[in-house]
Structure 1
Amino acid sequence: MSGALTSRRLRALWSTLFWAALGVGSYVFGVQSALGQEAEASVLEAARFTTDPPAPLNLVSTPSVGVALLAIGILAWIVHGIVRAVGIVVISALAILASQLLKLQLLDRPGLFELDAANTFPSGHMTVFTVLVAAIIWAVPTKIRAIVALVGAAILSAVGWQLLAYGWHRPSDVLGAIALGIVAFAIATLIRPSTSRGTPLLTRTVSIGMAMLSWTLIAAAIVLAVVSVAASNQGLLLNAGQFGVIGTSILGSRSLFRLST
């Protein structure tokens, strides 16, 4: 048991460092550099802005998030007990609160490329979906966590794609939000590693498959970004951002799954 706990803590430490570096790097490049601001402005210009997006993006509201967390908490209580349930709800709420504090109070966006552009880092919507996916992975019975992680990856990918396609957020905002949600659960795991009854089905298959798909999409995003810059094509740059966000979403869901087992 001691060896298993040590392994979980090491995994949680690696996840914390990796995703924290990604979040900080996204902010430094996307928000604090003129090159990053210019690139992300091109992505926004290529987007088709709408105030009435379809689901799942349009499902976020304060009441809906509260109801979702309550339902997940009850599920976790039934399956794993009150301690897990309270932990899931508290961690999720703190991550969402941290997202708003960072965006509205603590972080700034200097006018290096656009004057008077409001800070939108990290995305509140993406933070909500990330922590809800994390919460439900922790809440469900162990055996079905791999399947839930796959569904979670699909949901995060759809939301990330929508946030860029409809011009609600810049790529760095989305990446920073994914990183924030995962770091919150990784730190919690580092402090108190979760114990699981049973073994998830298809663990190795799902883990390897998600890793391969995520890194393939991230590599494709890098190639598209280079081509888009060479061709001065804003549409391709938007596609690059979407590929990168989808790849990161899948990688993030995989990390959450591995942290929970």
Structure 2
Amino acid sequence: MTDVARVSRGRAIAIAICAAVIGVLSYVLGVGSTTGQQAEASVLDAATFTMDPPAPLNLVSVSSVALALALIGGLTIAAHGFRRAFVIVFTAGFAILASQLLKQQLLTRPGLFEFDAPNTFPSGHMTVFTALLAAVIWAVPPRVRAVVGLVGALVIGAAAWQLLAFGWHRPSDVLGAQALVLLIFALLTVFHPPRLGAPAALGATARVILTVLGVIAVLVALAIAAFAALDSASSLLLIAGELGVLGTGLLTTRCLLALAG
């Protein structure tokens, strides 16, 4: 095993462990505790529910996801070959299906606060956006990967914000979906590390930008949440949740860029 492969696998293992811990904590604290359920219920109460949200949230459908995966497969074949295209499309599709299996069959939502509240963990929509972004990052040539990551971070950040703002999901649902996709692509990197060539153009700069902005957003969200808890302000909790999932989306993208090399 080359030193590059060792570094790639070591980084992927560390990211996989962090993603698994975050995903489990999201479920245990957000879904499995009375305090978490009450806090997230306050977030939902403050949201403005609508069945007709704007883009990017309204772009998700079975046909659009299938088309996106097909286009990503074709792009990957052109840039890297058929083998990598198969691996990427399969992994993204697996993440999306795993999300549905977890939400509908394997995970439950105990009635600690809201009786008969349906389980929405992890968010299927957030899984779709994050998995497609991960696939695109792996699909494109290194020279444009950083730009794709920055643009993609804005898209999944907007989707995460919308999922809370329009009352479709709780914060733990969004965070759990991001962690699930990151875990799956990290495991992919452990067993199938990418062949690293020249460093991606602006890769280090993009990772720094995403890290700084993501950490700031999460810290501000935690501060607002603490103040909202003291003041029992559900509207502030919603803002905290929106900023929080926006920040974790930026950090998730940063990790996906690191996994892709």
Question: One fold, TM greater than 0.5?
Answer: yes
Distance 1:51 1:207 in 2: 35
Matched residue, 1:96: 96
Distance 1:124 1:196 in 2: 31
Distance 1:198 1:67 in 2: 31
Q: How far did 1:196 drift?
A: 3.1
Q: How far did 1:39 drift?
A: 0.1
Q: How does 1:127-166 map to 2 (within 5 A)?
A: 127-166=127-166
Q: How far did 1:203 drift?
A: 1.7
Matched residue, 1:204: 204
Aligned residue pair count? 261
User: What SS is found at the alignment partner of 1:72?
Assistant: helix
What is the identity percentage for the equivalent residue pairs of Structure 1 and Structure 2?
A: 52
Query: TM-score, normalised on structure 1?
Result: 0.99
Matched residue, 1:172: 172
Structure 1: 5+ residue stretches without partners: none
Distance 1:196 1:139 in 2: 13
Query: TM-score, normalised on structure 2?
Result: 0.99
Matched residue, 1:84: 84
Distance 1:227 1:253 in 2: 28
Q: How far did 1:209 drift?
A: 1.5
Q: Does 1:59 align with 2:62?
A: no
Matched residue, 1:17: 17
Distance 1:10 1:136 in 2: 23
Distance 2:143 2:199 in 1: 6
Matched residue, 1:39: 39
Distance 1:13 1:143 in 2: 25
Q: How does 1:227-238 map to 2 (within 5 A)?
A: 227-238=227-238
Structure 2: 5+ residue stretches without partners: none
User: What SS is found at the alignment partner of 2:117?
Assistant: coil
Distance 1:208 1:79 in 2: 26
- 8 A contact 1:142–1:196 mirrored in 2: no
Q: How far did 1:24 drift?
A: 0.6
Matched AA of 1:202: L
